[in-house]
Structure formats: C-alpha cells, structure tokens
Amino acid sequence: MSEHYSLINTCNRVLIKRKHFIRKIPIIPALEIKYILILAAIQFAHLVDFVVLMPLGPTLMADLQISPAQFGALISSYNFAAAISGLVLGFFSDRFDRKILLMISLLGFILGTFCCSLSSSYFSLTFFRLVTGAFGGLMNGVIFALIADLVPFERRGKAMGIVMSSFSIASVVGVPLGMAISDSFHWSKTFLFIALFSVLILIYALYTFPNVEVKKKSVEKSYLEAIVSIVSRWEYLRSFAFIFLVSGSLFLLIPFLSPYAVKNMMIETTHLKYMYLVGGLLTVVTARVIGVLTDRYGALKVYAGVILLSFIPIFLFTHSGPRTLISYLVLGSCFMSMVSGRMIPCMTLVTAVPNEEERGFFLSILNSVRSLGSASMTFLSGLYIAETADGRLSGFGDMGIVAIFLGILTLLMAYKINSEVRPELANT
C-alpha cells in the first residue's frame, strides 16, 4: 500500500512540474506570429539560395571544372559580400523605416539570384554570387533587427527558433527540391526557381508587413562616429568576436559536407538530397525545442548543452570512411540538427547586449562579422583541403578537430558575455 501511495505522489510531482514548465513557455500573440512567419519566409528563400550551392558542390566542381579551393572561394564570395554590405549599409538600418530596407534588400536579392541562373562560367557565377550576397547580407541583418523590435526579450528565443527553423525547412523542402531540379534539368534552373518563388514572397510582404519606424537619436551621428561608438565598447567587440568564431567554426566544415560524402563516404550524388530531407525534418523539431528551452532555462545553459553535444557528430562525420546510405543519413542528420541548433541560443544571447537605439546598427555589424567569419573559414578550409590522386579529399578530419577547439573557445566567451548582460534580461 505504501508503495502504491509513493507511486501516486511521484506521478503527481511529475504532473505539477510539467504544468509549471508549460506555464513558463511564453505564448506569442497572433499578430507577432504573422510577422514572424513573414520574416521566416524571407529567411527561407535567402537560406535556400545560400545553402543549396553547397550540396550542389560535386555537380558544380564537375560541370565548371573547379578545384576545392575554387569551390571554397565561390561559397565564401557570398559571405564576403554580405559582410561588406552589412558594414556599409547597416548604418541606415537605424535611420529609415525597416520595412523599406527589407523590401529593397529582398528585391536586390531576387535580381542577383536570377542573374545566377543565367551564369555559364565560374567567374560569372562568382560575380553574381557577390551581388546576391551583398543584398542578402543587408536583408539578414534587417530581419534580426525586426525580431528584436517586434518581439519582447522574454519571447525572443521562441521567435528566433521559428525564424531560424527556416534553415530546417529550407533543408527539408527547398534544398531537396532544388537538387531535384538540378538533377532533372540543370543547376541553373535551381536559381531560377528560387528567384520566382522569392517574387511571391516580396509581393505578399509588401502589402502585409507593417512599417517599423525606429527611435530617432537626439543627435544625428556621422557614419564614422556611429562606427566608433559601436566598436569602442568592449562588450560589443566581445560579441563580434564571439559570433565570428561561432559561424567560422561551422563553415570550416559545412561547405564540404557534400563533396566529402561523395568522394570519401562513397555516397551517390543523387542521394545527397535525402540527407537534407531527413536532417531538415529532424532540425525542424530540434530548432523549436531549442528555442523553447532557451526561453525556459536561459541562452547560456542551452548553448553549452547544444555545443557539447555537437562535438560527437562533428568528430564522427569528419573522420568517416565509406558508409551505407542509412548510416550516412543518421550521422548527417545529427550533424545538421546539433550544429545549426547552436545559433538559436547564440543569437538570443547577443541580442540582449546592445542598447535599443543602437540595436539595428549593432545587429547589422554583427551579421557582417558573422558573414566574414563564415567566408574566411570557408576560404581557409578550401585552401587546406585537397583532392588526392584517387579523387578523395584530405584534411577534412583536421578541420573537424579545429572546429571542436573553436567550439570550446566560444563556450568560454559565452559565459563572459552572459555575465555582463543586463540583469533584467539574463536568465541563467
């Protein structure tokens, strides 16, 4: 009898904790959800355009006759342009209506992507990737600034989870569809599809998204004064270094996942899309869970847990030999969900750093630094990774070790950033 009552008491305690946990999960109002979904749709198109180029690596390397170093330069060109545009144009994000900036950047992104579909050489494709990246860099910074403007901090982790789950949806729907179009027609038609789809998003967003006026500064600053104001603050510089290493540690590896899978793991090129489908489905779930946990337990604790877990698939993938399709799908999916999941608590943490009147410019620079980190590490990784005489890639395992080391370094930096976040926003 005593064991019976003990079991009942245990069940009651579990139910009480569950109800307490559910009450703690912030509910996003319907109007916020609408705006967040529009931003997620724009981010979806942006990410499909960027991400699909990486699994197309084996096709592009064969069709354009380019080396791993040239492929790394092609991938990094987008992010280098995004970094520069964010620095140059990000200053205006705190001076003009953010909706106007969002629409301009989306239109430029569409035109750049359409021109990529017309490219027939390595040099023309690289040039138009620079154009697309320039507008995509501005657009990405405006998206995160809008999230910070429209969503209070206590619900921002969940909002970040929704918007950043666009990566998962892009992997589940956009990337497999884009690769299927490439397999059936030509890789250029993939970019044409993205451009046409983005036009529909532009039309809908133009008529439904609200104007978002930013607070005017009491004293207008010149561009140089604004830059000095941002970079002279140590907590801002630490955040920039943090995001540089977080994104850089990911892009040491991500651009070469597909070439490595084909050349070293012996996966058929036509089977690559299945990993993005399965991995994307898993990441849709994990992104939402990580977003909720970030709001519940704090960005630092969740970041620590996700990054430590991510070391397992990073090491296993980068040191793999030939694999069956099933084992490749399992390992690749775990890699995608854990590695991409880092960015949710990471971005939630750093959005608490800037003052409200500097938020737009701060996030634009932050996005530029993130793009610069991605581009730099992709370029360096491309220089280090080489193709052997038998057609395999060498050096990818070394890049995996470097990525783990950088991950540990970012965790130490996250602890320091969290300790200096405004007390009312910290949740550790």
Q: Which residue is associated with the tokens 């994104």?
A: 247
Give 210-213's long-range contacts (Cβ < 8 A, gap of 24+): 210/35, 210/99, 211/97, 211/99, 211/100, 212/97, 212/98, 212/99, 212/146, 212/149, 212/150, 213/97
CB-based burial label for 348 (10 Å; 0-12, 13-18, 19+): buried
Alpha helices in 342-395 (DSSP H): 343-350, 359-384
In a domain, residue 81? The reply is yes
Residue 30 is predicted with a pLDDT of: 64
CA pair distance 270, 113, nearest whole angstrom: 24
Euclidean distance between the first and the last CA atom of the chain, given in angstroms as a whole number: 41
Alpha carbons 392 and 394: distance in angstroms, whole number = 7
Q: Cα–Cα distance between 278 and 415 in angstroms, integer? A: 33
What is the tally of structural domains in the chain? 1
Between CA 352 and CA 422 the distance in angstroms is: 7
Contact 254, 71 (CB under 8 A): no
Instruction: Give the model's pLDDT for residue 423.
Output: 47
Instruction: Look at residue 22 in the predicted model and tell me its pLDDT.
Output: 38
- Residue 27 and residue 163: Cα distance in Å, rounded? 16
Q: Is residue 20 part of a domain?
A: no
Q: Could you write out the DSSP letters of every residue in 86-123?
A: HHHHGGGGGTS-HHHHHHHHHHHHHHHHHHHHT--SHH
Name the H helices within 185-231.
187-208, 223-231
Does a structural domain hold residue 93?
Answer: yes
- Token couple for 83: 């970094």
Q: Is 26 helix (H, G, I), strand (E, B) or coil?
A: coil
DSSP 319-349: T--S--HHHHHHHHHHHHHHHHHTHHHHHHH
Tell me, yes or no, whether 165 lies in a domain. yes
Q: Is residue 376 part of a domain?
A: yes
d(CA 366, CA 369): 5
pLDDT per residue of the chain (428 residues) written in tens, 0 to 9 = 444 444 444 444 444 444 444 344 455 566 667 778 888 888 888 888 888 888 888 888 888 888 888 888 888 888 888 888 777 765 565 666 677 888 888 999 999 999 998 888 888 899 999 999 888 878 877 787 777 777 766 666 667 667 766 666 776 777 788 888 888 888 888 899 999 989 998 998 888 777 666 655 444 555 566 677 777 778 888 888 999 999 889 888 888 888 899 889 998 888 888 888 888 788 878 888 888 888 888 888 899 999 999 999 999 999 998 999 999 999 988 898 888 788 888 888 887 777 766 666 777 778 778 878 888 888 888 889 888 888 788 889 999 999 999 999 999 998 888 877 654 444 44
The one-character DSSP state at 210 is P
**Phi, psi (5° rounding) for residue 386?**
-130, 160
Q: How far apart are CA 365 and CA 137, in angstroms?
A: 10
d(CA 71, CA 58): 10
Q: What are phi and psi of 388, to 5 degrees?
A: -80, 175
Q: How far is CA 244 from the centre of its chain?
A: 13
What's the pLDDT score for residue 357? 66
* 164, part of any domain: yes
Residue 348's CATH number: 1.20.1250.20
- What are the φ/ψ torsions at residue 255 (nearest 5 degrees)? -60, -20
Task: Give the single-character DSSP code of 352.
Answer: T
Residue 37 structural domain: 29-208+222-420
Segments in 25-54 forming alpha helices (H): 30-51
Give domain status of residue 414, yes or no. yes
Within a domain: 213: no
CA pair distance 157, 348, nearest whole angstrom: 6
d(CA 325, CA 266): 9
Q: Is the pTM of this model over 0.95?
A: no
Calculated CA dihedral for residues 256, 262, 263, 266, nearest 10 degrees: 140
The residues that bridge with 386 in the sheet, in sequence order, are 394
Residue 68 to residue 92: CA distance in whole angstroms: 37
